[in-house]
Structure 1
């Protein structure tokens, strides 16, 4: 399937918008922690890898944040990028050539862009624009972006792998909602979907990035020697699945509805990322590192209420779309109760890693 087609038919599960107590903006301290942890490497990437001389004749410098959600974390990342680029111009004595900055905030069309733009920083040094659409397809003109950024977004697949919801397939994921605690066939279906999505993602970005431009991606993953089945994420998916099963026993949801539901999230290992980039061939890997442990991760792990509110802010749209809004309060109340019961197991489980990778667009 072409990248453009994949982008058009990509499924959308936006983070919870609005200004209520369970919205994403108020329940994304972990994601903020990841952006804070990435700041040093982001500055290093721009200082050492961004060839501003290539762009010095341009009147404007274009940045795109992919999977921006509703803020405020996207603004923190953009501010870091902009300040580092400004410093590089100034340190090279190019003050008179400093361009104007245009920032594109990208997410699915169902994202709460009103919330995003209502919270734009007042004293920003850039022109802001919304960019609706899936990043698994083309969203910008050829060679138009100097710097792509994406933080904690690329673990979301474009869709649930088809085979895991097909009762006639060996990969049918009956009774489970994710691949982490499932059969080899289900795992392979998720792996294949991730590989296909990354092919489309890199193909689209290769066309949109100027030669010499950078792309910095931070994504959830796991070390090569630690399978994700041992992770905190696996325990959370099992708890969510058990909540749905309990609700099915009470007649709140049907077993058939559960069997057709799967979470479209995939945790990558470094060698899979490298393989996808090498196959695409348009980018060089400049930096690839695990980020330092995020302090907010420990804060969340020690607080069952935070785990529940964080999970709801991220997952509510996914469950609402499949099961309907009327089950949400009961589902996440039950989830909170079960998290409290299994808190010691969650706190001691492997927490996975966040992988930061810096890619540079090669010349044709």
Structure 2
């Protein structure tokens, strides 16, 4: 098989300011909601492992996860998959954990080899990390048996607009508060960027996957009634506007800052497969799709214990783990920058404790499982 054309390869993208999730163990410590999303669909993949084409080569059976961050959830996924597959073959295994070159990989490496031994408990399993954009081909052709990505596909490859003056997220504010605005023109630009990104990702993975290989794609999303971004980004937006009002942040900084993230519907997740412009129809079989909701651990705990302080801390730490890198990059470089960043998230905690009903958070995902033809 020859490599498929990828327009994104070798082109210059406009930086998003995304350097990875918060490091130093902070993302791992606040990623329980993401694991709930993963755990809901991981059985889809596990149920298909017996059909993997494992007899065609003597090389390693390769599982690749794109968007590994600090590695806690990525390693857990691999542990599940390897445990289900090792009895099917005597071949060695290779786990690949990939994220941006600027990602903090230190916890990943410690997690992969605690006490100097593979975390997977077998000398048949080797592991490696690969830095790069998930929208490019990163691995050799015909080398991957299972590819996964969980939530990372929601992060855009580039900023299609220099500023988004009415809100901090391309999807716009929640209906309950309507504390901002995104125009129809702006919405269409971001939707197109998200579709192009999805197509680039699917093309890259098609190059890497063996025939019969599996691809699992899961990401935070929305339905007609609910959106994962509601409440959460309303809170961040309100906290920023409070600091604009105080004079700590200029209106120009606020208007230029936005999170380069897009929350897809299930239709938007799958649409590149049938869009003739992307030439993907002949590359994959679409095995299963679903939009679903999972409980949020800190929300469920709050329902039981009514501890508002703990709830606010856990809620804000959760979204700080995946928003602070871009926010930090958009704040002016001053000696008080780190303190200002802390104050913004403390303001978010205060706002949440004052009116928690304004910032209700629901965890919606969309997912698809594909087979490489």
Structure 2 length-normalised TM:
0.83
Distance 1:238 1:310, change over 3 A: same
Q: Does 1:285 align with 2:306?
A: no
CA–CA distance in structure 2, aligned partners of residues 232 and 343 of structure 1: 16
Greater mean alpha carbon deviation, residues 33-42 or residues 266-275: 33-42
CA–CA distance in structure 2, aligned partners of residues 57 and 115 of structure 1: 33
Contact 1:214–1:358 (CA<8 Å) still a contact in 2? yes
Contact 1:15–1:314 (CA<8 Å) still a contact in 2? yes
Contact 2:22–2:321 (CA<8 Å) still a contact in 1? yes
Q: Does 1:359 align with 2:367?
A: no
SS at match of 2:257: coil
CA–CA distance in structure 2, aligned partners of residues 70 and 204 of structure 1: 23
Gaps spanning 5+ residues in structure 2: where? 1-5, 174-181, 304-310
CA-to-aligned-CA distance 1:164-188 (integer Å, 9 cap, x gap): 62xxxxxxx3232122232211211
Q: Which residue of 1 aligns with 2:24?
A: 18
CA–CA distance in structure 1, aligned partners of residues 139 and 19 of structure 2: 22
Contact 1:6–1:158 (CA<8 Å) still a contact in 2? no
SS at match of 1:25: helix
CA–CA distance in structure 2, aligned partners of residues 198 and 297 of structure 1: 31
CA–CA distance in structure 2, aligned partners of residues 27 and 213 of structure 1: 32
Q: Which residue of 2 aligns with 1:304?
A: 312
Q: Does 1:343 align with 2:356?
A: yes
Q: Which residue of 2 aligns with 1:133?
A: 132
Greater mean alpha carbon deviation, residues 263-272 or residues 101-110: 263-272
Distance 1:239 1:356, change over 3 A: same
Q: Which residue of 1 aligns with 2:179?
A: none
SS at match of 2:350: helix
CA–CA distance in structure 2, aligned partners of residues 57 and 315 of structure 1: 42
CA–CA distance in structure 1, aligned partners of residues 52 and 146 of structure 2: 11
Deviation at 1:141, TM superposition (A): 1.5
Contact 1:320–1:328 (CA<8 Å) still a contact in 2? yes
| Correspondent of 1:246 among 235, 242, 245 | 242
CA–CA distance in structure 2, aligned partners of residues 3 and 359 of structure 1: 22
Deviation at 1:232, TM superposition (A): 5.2
Deviation at 1:292, TM superposition (A): 5.5
Structure 1 length-normalised TM:
0.85
Deviation at 1:71, TM superposition (A): 2.2
CA-to-aligned-CA distance 1:242-296 (integer Å, 9 cap, x gap): 2222212222121111111111111111112221122322111011123452352
Distance 1:33 1:297, change over 3 A: farther
SS at match of 1:234: coil
Distance 1:155 1:185, change over 3 A: same
Q: Does 1:235 align with 2:231?
A: yes
CA–CA distance in structure 1, aligned partners of residues 298 and 288 of structure 2: 24
Gaps spanning 5+ residues in structure 1: where? 90-96, 166-172
Q: Which residue of 2 aligns with 1:331?
A: 344
Q: Which residue of 2 aligns with 1:3?
A: 8
| Correspondent of 1:45 among 48, 51, 67 | 48
CA-to-aligned-CA distance 1:56-91 (integer Å, 9 cap, x gap): 43331011110000021111101111112224x1xx
Deviation at 1:38, TM superposition (A): 2.3
Contact 2:293–2:363 (CA<8 Å) still a contact in 1? no
CA–CA distance in structure 2, aligned partners of residues 42 and 209 of structure 1: 15
Q: Does 1:149 align with 2:155?
A: no
- What is the count of residue pairs matched by the alignment? 334
